[in-house]
Chain A
């Protein structure tokens, strides 16, 4: 199984540009998440989804949008890129709610906004 796949791996954007970070999983997981990782700050939750058609905000949703039209895909959209959005973005998934199952992470997308 491929697990959680993120594309692209790297991207440089100019201020004000838009882009979509792609995330897909082939494990039939219901729950999917987007995190951003900043140096020394750990991971912050941007958005999450508990199933197709359902999304909700995390800790730091401003400047981002998501959609979940299928179980497999959970793209993250940046409409007007800002330097503060320079970060490494991780997508993750889990089959169902519960304390025993681990999150499965993608390998990340490194985004630089200049």
Chain B
């Protein structure tokens, strides 16, 4: 079956520090990969996505590259801000074999950025 493994948190950084949150996956077929972000008290919202190998998703200064050879989709940001404090989820969907569209989520990584 499909699975997503992401680095466990919590991660605590100072403002302007470099961020990496690791994510690796196992999937049948050709998955699409996503990073979702959850701010306190809110639902998840899409941060970025990549739908095929070597694609780079980017948004709000965050980036992640779809690496098929290492089955990875690590999230990076060069300079984090206090407002980036949230829980980050790596996710995938794979529509092989006619299965219905369902996302598989990692466990989430809590990021706290201090001023």
A residues touching B (Cβ–Cβ < 8 Å)? 4, 31, 33, 40-43, 45, 48, 50, 56, 58, 90, 92, 94, 97-100, 102-103, 105-108
What's the least CB distance linking B105 to chain A, in Å? Answer: 4
Q: Does B42 reach chain A (CB closer than 8 Å)?
A: yes
What's the least CB distance linking B63 to chain A, in Å? Answer: 17
Distance of A4 Cα from B95 Cα, bound (Å): 24
Q: How many A-B residue pairs have CB under 8 A?
A: 60
Nearest chain-B residue to A54 (Cβ)?
Answer: B100
Partner of B105, one of A42, A50, A56, A102: A42
Q: Is the interface of B mostly helix, strand, loop or mixed?
A: loop
Q: Does B89 reach chain A (CB closer than 8 Å)?
A: yes
Find out whether the CB atom of A94 lies under 8 angstroms from the CB atom of B101. yes
Find out whether the CB atom of A43 lies under 8 angstroms from the CB atom of B100. no
Q: Does B65 reach chain A (CB closer than 8 Å)?
A: no
Q: Does B22 reach chain A (CB closer than 8 Å)?
A: no
A-B contact list, 5 entries, CB within 8 Å: A33-B102, A43-B44, A48-B100, A50-B100, A102-B46
What's the least CB distance linking B36 to chain A, in Å? Answer: 8
Q: Does B77 reach chain A (CB closer than 8 Å)?
A: no
Q: How large is the interface on B (under 10, 10 to 19, 20 to 34, 35 or more residues)?
A: 20 to 34
Nearest chain-B residue to A4 (Cβ)?
Answer: B43
Which residues on A sit within 8 Å (CB–CB) of B93? 99
Find out whether the CB atom of B95 lies under 8 angstroms from the CB atom of A56. no
Find out whether the CB atom of B49 lies under 8 angstroms from the CB atom of A100. yes
What's the least CB distance linking A80 to chain B, in Å? Answer: 27
Distance of A31 Cα from B100 Cα, bound (Å): 9
Nearest chain-B residue to A40 (Cβ)?
Answer: B107
Residue in A48, A98, A103, A106 with the greatest tally of chain B CB atoms within 10 Å: A103
Q: Does B103 reach chain A (CB closer than 8 Å)?
A: yes
